[in-house]
Amino acid sequence: MSQVQSGILPEHCRAAIWIEANVKGEVDALRAASKTFADKLATFEAKFPDAHLGAVVALVTTPGAL
């Protein structure tokens, strides 16, 4: 990725994990993985309500990448 843009994290966040990847062509796999991620986050939010868990996911399209 050639351009970095910050995500907006909730004020209460104490820690974060950043993952950067180049995805070429596997758009359906990215959609499925994004849904899995959202489902797992919801599971953890329900299991640990006092943890105030959250996530920021940002995607960018590079011209000619898909």
Work out how many domains the chain is built from and give that number.
1
Domain, as residue range, for 35: 28-65
Q: For residue 26, which amino acid is it?
A: E
Predicted confidence at residue 51, as pLDDT, reads 86
| Residue 11, in any domain of the structure | no
| Residue 21, in any domain of the structure | no
| Residue 17, in any domain of the structure | no
Q: How far apart are CA 9 and CA 5, in angstroms?
A: 12
Query: Which tens digit of pLDDT belongs to each residue from 1-27?
Result: 456 566 676 676 777 777 777 777 788
Q: How far apart are CA 17 and CA 31, in angstroms?
A: 20
| Residue 55, in any domain of the structure | yes
| Residue 22, in any domain of the structure | no
| Residue 38, in any domain of the structure | yes
In percent, the amount of the chain with pLDDT more than 90 equals 24
Tokens of 52: 């105030």
| Residue 60, in any domain of the structure | yes
Query: Which tens digit of pLDDT belongs to each residue from 44-55?
Result: 999 999 988 888
Phi, psi of 32 (to 5 degrees): -65, -45
Predicted confidence at residue 1, as pLDDT, reads 45
| Residue 46, in any domain of the structure | yes
Q: How far apart are CA 2 and CA 43, in angstroms?
A: 33
Predicted confidence at residue 44, as pLDDT, reads 93
pTM attached to this predicted model: 0.66
